[in-house]
Copies of this chain bind each other. A is one copy, B any other.
């Protein structure tokens, strides 16, 4: 079960498809191997970048099950955001029965006031049950919901089953400092904070006190290494490595296009067989592919793991 002590890197897994749209199980297995090899401490599936909304219920369940089995003892978090609580409850209870460690809940875009947001999480917990550990997803850029530190604190206080924050506000550095100050003052109990937003500020977010990363950058080993170096106090080395990846990481962190970049790189690396997305989902243009290839070639001068394995 997921706890507030969770640390390290929980990659956001994409859902690999065959060019005809079927789920590609063999690529799921290679993704699992890659995450384990990279040193991931957990995994998150069926998030926004997992194309969760494009899956039928049985597919979602089968994908979650395969990732859970594959990750063995490592905790797997399943995204259960849904337009209604009935569907959210059904998926949450089922994946927990299948061995998930916890679930992640994003607020629906219509929420505006502080009361609406805290009320939504209370109702969601009532729906899924207070026995399921859950993660708050705080991603205003995509979800359009803005949570202040005080609202996050209220959600955590209202719901003992909240154990983690996926922090991806932008800008977000001061928010981390504020939340950690709340904890230092004793007004917020301990929770795990993993960062997202493509990792664009991972370097400084770690210095602000987060516990790790939960994002889908196509080199999970970069995330693992930067977390490890920072935790070891090797600040300059952490920044050197991060900066080498930043041009590509920045290119991947483009709204809408990002998943196409990510899948293309994972395919170039030989980890997934195809970069296909289900509709609606734009493929990368030939021009963009060439740009990514150029970035990979430049990155490989410093980090040889960027040498593509595939044709």
Could you pull out 8 A-B pairs where Cβ atoms are within 8 angstroms? A53-B87, A54-B85, A85-B278, A85-B279, A126-B279, A171-B255, A177-B285, A203-B247
Q: A126-B279, A279-B85 in contact; A254/B114 too (CB < 8 A)?
A: no
How far in angstroms is the closest Cβ of chain B from A92?
A: 13
Q: In the bound complex, how far is the Cα of B170 from the Cα of A239, in angstroms?
A: 26
A77 at the A/B interface (Cβ < 8 Å)? no
A26 at the A/B interface (Cβ < 8 Å)? no
Q: In the bound complex, how far is the Cα of B109 from the Cα of A116, in angstroms?
A: 18
Contact of A151 among B113, B146, B147 (CB under 8 A): B113
A173 at the A/B interface (Cβ < 8 Å)? yes
Contacts of A116 in B (CB 8 A): 146
Contacts of A63 in B (CB 8 A): none
A1 at the A/B interface (Cβ < 8 Å)? no
**A200-227 to B contact mask, C-beta < 8 Å, 1/0:** 1101100110000000000000000000
Contacts of A85 in B (CB 8 A): 54, 278-280
How far in angstroms is the closest Cβ of chain B from A283?
A: 11
Contacts of A150 in B (CB 8 A): 115
- Minimum CB distance partner of A261 in chain B: B171
A157 at the A/B interface (Cβ < 8 Å)? no
Tallying the copies of this chain within the complex gives 4
A33 at the A/B interface (Cβ < 8 Å)? no
Q: In the bound complex, how far is the Cα of B205 from the Cα of A304, in angstroms?
A: 27
Contacts of A203 in B (CB 8 A): 247
Once the chains bind, are B287 and A177 in contact (CB under 8 Å)? yes
Once the chains bind, are B84 and A55 in contact (CB under 8 Å)? yes
Q: In the bound complex, how far is the Cα of B279 from the Cα of A174, in angstroms?
A: 19
Once the chains bind, are A54 and B113 in contact (CB under 8 Å)? no
A291 at the A/B interface (Cβ < 8 Å)? yes
A256 at the A/B interface (Cβ < 8 Å)? yes
A187 at the A/B interface (Cβ < 8 Å)? no
Q: Which residues of A contact B (CB under 8 A)?
A: 51-57, 59, 83-87, 90, 109-110, 112-116, 119-120, 123, 126-127, 146-148, 150-151, 170-171, 173-174, 177, 200-201, 203-204, 207-208, 239, 242-243, 246-247, 250-251, 254-257, 278-280, 285, 287-288, 291, 298
Contacts of A83 in B (CB 8 A): 53, 83
Q: A53-B83, A83-B53, A204-B291 in contact; A247/B246 too (CB < 8 A)?
A: yes
How far in angstroms is the closest Cβ of chain B from A248?
A: 10
Q: Which of A171, A203, A257, A291 has the most CB of B within 10 A?
A: A171
How far in angstroms is the closest Cβ of chain B from A296?
A: 13
Q: A54-B85, A109-B109 in contact; A114/B148 too (CB < 8 A)?
A: yes
Once the chains bind, are A86 and B55 in contact (CB under 8 Å)? yes
Contacts of A288 in B (CB 8 A): 173-174
Contacts of A255 in B (CB 8 A): 170-171
Contacts of A109 in B (CB 8 A): 109-110
How far in angstroms is the closest Cβ of chain B from A172?
A: 9
Once the chains bind, are B123 and A84 in contact (CB under 8 Å)? no
